[in-house]
A and B are shown apart, each in its own frame.
Chain A
Amino acid sequence: GIQVEQSPPDLILQEGANSTLRCNFSDSVNNLQWFHQNPWGQLINLFYIPSGTKQNGRLSATTVATERYSLLYISSSQTTDSGVYFCAVGRKTGANNLFFGTGTRLTVIP
Chain B
Amino acid sequence: NAGVTQTPKFQVLKTGQSMTLQCAQDMNHEYMSWYRQDPGMGLRLIHYSVGAGITDQGEVPNGYNVSRSTTEDFPLRLLSAAPSQTSVYFCASSYSGQGGTEAFFGQGTRLTVV
Point out residues on A near B: beta carbons under 8 Å.
1, 4, 29-31, 33, 35, 41-43, 45, 48, 50, 86, 88, 90, 92-103
Residues from 84 to 101 in B contacting A, C-beta threshold 8 Å? 88, 90, 92, 94-101
A35 to B103: give the CA distance in the assembly, Å: 10
Q: A1-B59, A95-B48, A97-B58 are in contact. Are A102 and B42 (CB under 8 A)?
A: yes
Point out residues on B near A: beta carbons under 8 Å.
31, 33, 35, 40-45, 48, 50, 56, 58-59, 88, 90, 92, 94-105, 107-108, 110
| Chain A nearest CB, measured from B101 CB (Å) | 6
Q: A50-B100, A96-B103, A98-B92 are in contact. List 8 more A-B contacts (CB 8 A).
A: A31-B100, A33-B103, A42-B107, A45-B102, A88-B43, A94-B98, A97-B33, A97-B45
Sample (16) of A-B pairs whose CB atoms are under 8 Å apart? A29-B100, A31-B101, A35-B105, A41-B88, A42-B107, A45-B104, A86-B43, A88-B42, A96-B97, A96-B101, A97-B58, A98-B33, A98-B43, A99-B45, A100-B43, A103-B42
B residues in contact with A97, CB < 8 Å? 33, 45, 48, 58
- Chain B residue nearest in CB terms to A94: B98
A residues in contact with B35, CB < 8 Å? 98, 100
B residues in contact with A31, CB < 8 Å? 100-103
* Contact assessment for A95 and B96 in the assembled complex, using a CB-CB cutoff below 8 Å: yes
A33 to B100: give the CA distance in the assembly, Å: 11
Q: Choose among A90, A97, A99 the residue with the greatest number of B CB atoms under 10 Å from its CB.
A: A97
B residues in contact with A4, CB < 8 Å? 42
- Chain A residue nearest in CB terms to B90: A43
* Contact assessment for A41 and B108 in the assembled complex, using a CB-CB cutoff below 8 Å: yes
* Contact assessment for B102 and A48 in the assembled complex, using a CB-CB cutoff below 8 Å: yes
A40 to B40: give the CA distance in the assembly, Å: 15
Q: A41-B110, A42-B107, A43-B105 are in contact. Are A96 and B40 (CB under 8 A)?
A: no
B residues in contact with A92, CB < 8 Å? 98, 100
* Contact assessment for B40 and A102 in the assembled complex, using a CB-CB cutoff below 8 Å: yes
A residues in contact with B110, CB < 8 Å? 41
